[in-house]
Structure 1
Amino acid sequence: MSVPLRVLIADDHPMFRAALRHALGEIAPGLSVDEVANRSALEAAVAEGAPYDLAMLDLTMPGAMGFSSLVYLRGERPELPVLIVSSDDHARTIRRAQQFGAAGFVPKSAPAESLAQAVQAVLDGGLWFPPQQAERSEDDARLAERLAQLTPQQLRVLMRVADGLLNKQIAYELSLSENTVKIHVTAVLRKLGCHSRTQAAVLVKALALDSAGVAGEEDEVGG
């Protein structure tokens, strides 16, 4: 008897999570689904070590900065395919998702058939992206390479540095000693080639969605 699929859905809209759960049930009856609504809950779910077969990720959850959750998942669980499901379907957003390691991208406006095709393709070890994509960005490629040098723990520390947290606050959030956080920060700055926490924070902000893309997402949700 085959083990049922286990999927992690990360999206802050309860109704959309329910819609995804229903769609997945049609694709793979009997599957197991875990849901999270923000970045902290995502980290907690991943930390539990559940053997997920697929992660479905929105780009605008509370606590996330654009592609930061995607970069986190790719660093923490490189074997786990990540399918982005977003209402920001601008060509550059799709291209950036691919460059930062997503296995697929499905616009929230896409029909159920497209979602089914994407899920099946990704579970089979392939890729699934809409045809409209912008040109490859060398800046994003370099950023992805730099971030790939970090360990999962260093990436967690970096994201909190970008949020403006002090070492003492990061230590509390991650259950580490303040000295351990200091060591991680030093290693992060060295690996990224940054001379200060401010430089590192600016680097992380490059993961943010383009302003045009964010505006487009708000328009679609509102419409």
Structure 2
Amino acid sequence: MPDGPYETLRAAILGFDLVPGEKLSERGLEDLLGASRTPIRAALVRLENEGLTGRVGRGWQVTPIDLTEVRAVVEHREAVETAAVALAVERATEEELLAVRALVEESAADDGPSGLRDGADFHVALARLSRNRFLADAVGGALVRLARTRWLEVRSPRSRATARAEHLGIVDAVLARDAPTAVDLVTAHGRGAADRLLAHLAEERRRLRGRGFAIVETPPQP
């Protein structure tokens, strides 16, 4: 079955075929996607809920990369992911954890965009082993909001190798039923990735703007 408007637009946004800040119109998307306005509008609203599109006047745009939001999402992700991994230590079976470990090992052969997706899959799979779907959904939602910025930073083989090694360390700590170490490793992994990501955006901000990317820094909300 071919992808619908939501799947097509989401892939285009996450893959930068539609760049941050790009204007979108329902009429233009009708012609581009060969779909009627109702499913396109529903797709745009659904993507708005994921933080990937937003209304601008009477139209729409791909959400700019907002450095303030990135920092806030990173803090949110740390809070929910550390809670999830602590529960996974208590609740996950060895068989489930070995399956997650295999997911990490298999991702070593993938150097493309799906390698990034496998990294996100690792975090969501581990969060699900908390047996708390609200925590797992929160981790997944945070990763969607960080997906574009993560792909900008995690393109090099070195970055992907570092992430895989850290993922293996986390799952091994959970397998050892060592909650403090698992929480510490998740925290260090998230903060290290965030530091690298924000440093990369700071370095590349001018070049990315030259490619048409909208990168903003809004005042933090009280």
TM score, norm. by length of structure 2: 0.33
The structure that is strand-richer by fraction is 1
- The structure that has the greater radius of gyration is 2
Q: RCO higher in 1 or 2 (8 Å CA, sep ≥ 6)? A: 2
TM score, norm. by length of structure 1: 0.33
